[in-house]
Amino acid sequence: MNINIPTPLRAYTGGQQTVSIPGATVGEALEALTGAYPELRQHLYSGEGKLRSFVNLYLNDDDIRYLPQKEATPVEESDELSIIPSIAGGCCRRLQILLGMPNL
């Protein structure tokens, strides 16, 4: 199957945007991916081997956290797995109001 690598992780896949990886399930494909590109592992998983909380894995258009079989979900050659780190943030207004700080 094809795995889409996000911009920040391409340094560990030789610059490749998409890598073709064998595997019968999502989990097997991920195992093969980190086997082929070992440096990826620490960016995807925490020290305890859990997927980092900000890393989203999507099988085609579905979040694998919400698939009934999760990482054991079978995959086909034509499926696409996307690794998408989260995009979020915010500003500090509440704190400013609390502290009565002037706007900078």
Partner 1 sequence: MLHLSYSDYAALRAHGEENYPHECCGVLLGNSTPEGNQVREIVRAGNTRTDRAHDRYNIAPEELIRIQRQARKQGLDIVGFYHSHPDCPAQWSQTDFAEAHWVGCSYVITRVDQDKAAVTNSFLLTGTSEEDKKFLDEPVEIAMNEAEIEQERGRS
93 is a contact residue toward partner 1 (CB under 8 A): yes
16 is a contact residue toward partner 1 (CB under 8 A): no
102 is a contact residue toward partner 1 (CB under 8 A): no
Helix, strand or coil for residue 32? helix
Residue 73's closest CA among 83, 64, 85, 82?
64
CA 92, 98, 100, 104: dihedral to nearest 10 degrees?
0
Contact residues toward partner 1 (CB under 8 A) are 4, 6-8, 11, 17, 42-43, 52, 54-56, 58, 61, 63, 82, 84-94, 96, 103-104
Contact residues toward Zn ion (CB under 5 A) are 89, 91
